[in-house]
């Protein structure tokens, strides 16, 4: 129930963030390029937009005041972020119609997004407590890339894995097993499956992405890229491989064991 509510909040955060992206792009594209990628991290940008909702208000506040405002939230980036903000403001000299209206909406949206993100932080703590209390917690989180939220989702959907006869059954349930494309009597190769448990598939996909810092996972990903697969395809292949490993870990109750890294042979 708590994880489901967290999923709802994640969707709401995405919706509000997209609305903010759209408004900023509409009134000042250059400013959106600076602030947009940092809307949800760190919180300094949302603090700024809650106080000053338009380019004119930001400029009027001045560099020193903005640095003072942002430094407690982002001490390492406050000065250069303010520099980038004013460089972006100088790129546009025209005031777009609707800017004044946006100045009323932007602070409200920023405040709403801050509230949603704060709720997610509180829930993350509670989810972590519940996850740690489960006997399979340490098994799950021993795998690189499996954090609190992905671990909780996998535990909810998979449990101890006993309901799946083989790793292939788990992969099919998660929508990670490739589907064969048929046309009449001919077979036209394989493509990612559109079936399966979408939430579990997303958890495996996100954990695979987070695991790219692990040497063995990165080597496997690079191998798939060298074979001609694009980023998403390579991540899905890695997620499929990790599902096999996770199935064995749950079946045997064993922790993740790092695999030796093999060099990727260059394509000729």
Report the distance separating Cα 186 and Cα 25, nearest Å.
Answer: 48
C-alpha torsion 197→198→201→202, nearest 10: -150
**Residue 133: both structure tokens together:** 């209390």
**Residue 140: both structure tokens together:** 């799950």
Averaged over successive runs of 10 residues, the pLDDT of the chain (268 residues) comes to 94 96 95 93 90 94 96 93 96 91 94 96 94 93 94 93 94 83 50 79 95 94 94 94 94 86 56
H helix intervals, 92-230:
99-132, 137-141, 148-158, 167-173, 198-210, 215-226
pTM of the model: 0.79
* E strands present in the chain: 179-183, 186-191
Q: What is the pLDDT of residue 177?
A: 83
Report the distance separating Cα 236 and Cα 234, nearest Å.
Answer: 5
Q: What is the pLDDT of residue 165?
A: 95
Report the distance separating Cα 146 and Cα 159, nearest Å.
Answer: 15
Report the distance separating Cα 158 and Cα 193, nearest Å.
Answer: 19
Q: What is the pLDDT of residue 189?
A: 47
Q: What is the pLDDT of residue 129?
A: 94
Q: What is the pLDDT of residue 112?
A: 96
Instruction: Give the DSSP letter of residue 165.
Output: S
Q: What is the pLDDT of residue 217?
A: 94
Helix (H, G, I), strand (E, B) or coil at 250: helix
Closest CA to 46 of 115, 123, 125: 115
Q: What is the pLDDT of residue 213?
A: 93
Report the distance separating Cα 221 and Cα 233, nearest Å.
Answer: 9
């Amino acid at each position: 129930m708590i994880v489901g509510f967290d999923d709802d909040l994640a969707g709401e955060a995405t919706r509000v963030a997209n609305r903010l992206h759209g408004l900023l792009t509409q009134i000042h594209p250059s400013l959106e390029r600076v602030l947009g990628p940092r809307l949800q991290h760190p919180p300094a940008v949302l603090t700024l937009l809650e106080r000053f909702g338009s380019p004119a208000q930001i400029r009027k506040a001045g560099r020193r005041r903005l640095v003072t405002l942002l430094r407690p939230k982002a001490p390492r980036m406050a000065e250069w972020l303010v520099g980038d903000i004013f460089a972006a403001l100088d790129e546009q000299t025209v005031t777009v119609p609707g800017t004044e209206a946006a100045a009323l909406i932007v602070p409200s949206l920023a405040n709403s997004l801050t509230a949603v993100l704060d709720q997610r932080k509180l829930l993350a703590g509670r989810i972590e407590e519940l996850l740690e209390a489960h006997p399979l917690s340490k098994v799950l989180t021993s795998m690189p890339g499996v954090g609190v939220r992905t671990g909780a989702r996998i535990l909810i959907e998979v449990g101890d894995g006993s309901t799946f006869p083989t790793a292939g059954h788990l992969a099919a349930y998660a929508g990670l097993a490739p589907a064969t494309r048929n046309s009449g009597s001919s077979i036209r190769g394989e493509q990612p499956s559109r079936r399966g448990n979408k939430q579990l598939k997303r958890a495996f996909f996100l954990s695979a992405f987070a695991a790219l810092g692990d040497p063995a996972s990165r080597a496997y990903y690079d191998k798939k890229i060298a074979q001609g697969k694009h980023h998403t395809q390579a991540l899905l292949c890695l997620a499929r491989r990790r599902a096999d490993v996770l199935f064995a870990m749950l079946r045997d109750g064993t922790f993740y064991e790092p695999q030796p890294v093999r060099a990727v042979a260059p394509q000729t």
